[in-house]
A and B are shown apart, each in its own frame.
Chain A
């Protein structure tokens, strides 16, 4: 199911405000996703979110969007800081896919590292999906990463592109560090050459 957030330039400060970045954990950020828009009171770490006042005007709080796994937004989604806490919060809230006409570079790359799929679709498709979501309760899209397609309820298919390597990692749940360490001999060789050519870079 799709939840629409009709704004451009949604920054990572809005996605997860800085006070929640003090956590040294990787989980639990979902309750503070879009904190300043979602609640009427000011949130601080450690607060029981079930006791806080929800902002009835914030779209994600509407009953019809509860349980949505796809977030639909406007251009330059995820701009601002490099905090991976932003994709963590989206994922922890329950989103598995974010669809927008464009994403900020660091956010985009961070998503793939944790298995959240950012999908770029053309502005026309996005406009159409926004209006269909608005007029259809329970509007759902089918996302097929292998085929790189998004299918609308009436069967319209929108194609998207992902980098083959990133797609492979996502589909197979691969750990990038282990993959990189398969090239350990090349890293060591590169480093030795560098040590000779630019010794001032090493202590």
Chain B
């Protein structure tokens, strides 16, 4: 009996020095996604060594971290950002790599673009020089982030040297309450296992609450696996997976589609397969989540309060909490609903897909952002998500409510472009990391779901979205 991870692992082994479980194995990579930040040094290394990419049709490139989310016809103003994007364009052109350039309608965040194009298919190994590659595990892929040396290694050999991780099953059973979303599940899991809880593990998310989620929601959950320390998260194939893929540009058609789907339906853990660790959550108990600190595990529920470090006995932990509260400008025991915001960011590879935008739009429709909100922005995950949202009239809903409607990219999730917080500014963000300085030096990030961010925009402070519906 095998877990899904066992099946994916075994199906990709090219070479093993021995069959000892602890040995490194040479693992074949099916899909290599590339963006501008972690690839230039890899392409340079390849060039210096006189090597060529092993398999061009495995690579899909897109610039997302540095791209402006405002008017693009004049290109990128920051010369250093521009050079990085130009370098990707040049490398792709020189080597014949498929790239969606900044002005291409299909451009967007690499982890939104891959699945949207059908470039992410069940059973694949998927890598990218980006930790949120775990997103693609939603399609029963073994998908994980790699460093630049590994980017070069995959370019040159189509393989990686890896050691098999341990397996963790996270079972979410029961029914989610209204207004509670995949992001809340993800944050609740991280709150439970901690940001290092998944270190050394690959996580499979299962249980009926996961089965009932859409592909967009499953991607949100797998995306956040890395915030729980796990390099890869995954979910078994079912009809929801197959329906999502059907008809996408890179997806198989005709006879191949039939053959592919027959195989894909086997991509699940066998009944009774053993995991090294099992964690269970009751979906009905999960409330809307809000982070209060500088690590995603520093999270509580909307009806909670900022915790008091004085109540914590572990000195390292207490010290970290004190640092976090100081950085966040929060006092112990403050009700979460009394935290006032300056900015609202709806976007990122975690929450910028059409369903996320719809969830936020439902909340803001016919309402307006509060007077204390200096900026509320929606950054769709790709040009195609943006177009679809516009076809549904969501751009108008957001604009009428006082939001800015932007061009696709990573934007203020990590603030490599001009979208950022100023020191001391407080943001309700649908992104994945609340680290110090993540959204701009001195910026204060609270991670929430799109619906919760939208509700906070309207109220000016955090509010229980379940009361707004």
Q: Evaluate contact between A8 and B317: CB separation under 8 angstroms.
A: yes
Whether A64 sits at the interface, judged by CB under 8 Å, is no
Whether A14 sits at the interface, judged by CB under 8 Å, is yes
Residues of B within 8 A of A6 (CB): 316, 319
Most B Cβ at <10 Å: residue of A17, A102, A202: A17
Residues of A within 8 A of B37 (CB): 21-22, 83
Most B Cβ at <10 Å: residue of A79, A109, A191, A199: A79
B123 is contacted by which of A83, A177, A198 (Cβ under 8 Å)? A198
Whether B337 sits at the interface, judged by CB under 8 Å, is no
A-B contact count (CB 8 A): 187
Q: Evaluate contact between B41 and A25: CB separation under 8 angstroms.
A: yes
**Shortest CB distance A45–B (Å):** 5
Residues of A within 8 A of B436 (CB): 13-14, 36
Residues of B within 8 A of A199 (CB): 256
A202 is contacted by which of B57, B323, B435, B441 (Cβ under 8 Å)? B57
Q: Evaluate contact between A7 and B323: CB separation under 8 angstroms.
A: yes
Q: Evaluate contact between B263 and A46: CB separation under 8 angstroms.
A: no
Quick one: which of A152-203 are within 8 Å of B by CB? 163, 165-166, 176-177, 180-181, 183, 186-187, 190-191, 194, 198-203
Instruction: Report B245-271 CB contacts with A as 1/0, cut-off 8 Å.
Output: 000000110001101100100000000
Quick one: which of A81-110 are within 8 Å of B by CB? 81-85, 87, 102-106, 109-110
Q: Evaluate contact between B159 and A180: CB separation under 8 angstroms.
A: yes
CA distance A6 to B257 in the complex (A): 54
Interface residues on B, range: 35 or more
Q: Evaluate contact between B147 and A84: CB separation under 8 angstroms.
A: yes
Whether A76 sits at the interface, judged by CB under 8 Å, is yes
Residues of A within 8 A of B153 (CB): 176-177, 180
Q: Evaluate contact between B435 and A14: CB separation under 8 angstroms.
A: yes
CA distance A181 to B41 in the complex (A): 20
Residues of B within 8 A of A11 (CB): 295, 433, 435
Q: Evaluate contact between A106 and B146: CB separation under 8 angstroms.
A: yes
Question: Known: A9-B196, A18-B416, A22-B84. Contact between A42 and B14, CB under 8 A?
Answer: no
* Interface size in chain A (residues, C-beta < 8 A): 59
Whether A49 sits at the interface, judged by CB under 8 Å, is no
Whether A63 sits at the interface, judged by CB under 8 Å, is no
Residues of B within 8 A of A79 (CB): 195-196, 229, 295
Q: Evaluate contact between B57 and A203: CB separation under 8 angstroms.
A: yes
Residue ID in chain A nearest B197 by CB atoms? A76
Whether A80 sits at the interface, judged by CB under 8 Å, is yes
Residue ID in chain A nearest B314 by CB atoms? A8
Question: Known: A79-B195, A82-B38. Contact between A13 and B437, CB under 8 A?
Answer: yes
Q: Evaluate contact between B14 and A82: CB separation under 8 angstroms.
A: no
Most A Cβ at <10 Å: residue of B23, B51, B146: B146
Q: List 27 contacting pairs A-B, 8 Å CB cutoff, sorted by A.
A: A13-B414, A17-B441, A18-B438, A21-B416, A24-B40, A24-B87, A25-B41, A75-B316, A79-B195, A80-B131, A81-B130, A81-B145, A81-B414, A102-B199, A104-B196, A106-B145, A110-B147, A110-B149, A113-B150, A177-B156, A180-B153, A181-B157, A186-B26, A190-B28, A198-B123, A199-B256, A200-B259
Binding site for B on A (CB under 8 A): 6-9, 11, 13-14, 17-19, 21-26, 36, 42, 45-46, 74-76, 79-85, 87, 102-106, 109-110, 113-114, 163, 165-166, 176-177, 180-181, 183, 186-187, 190-191, 194, 198-203
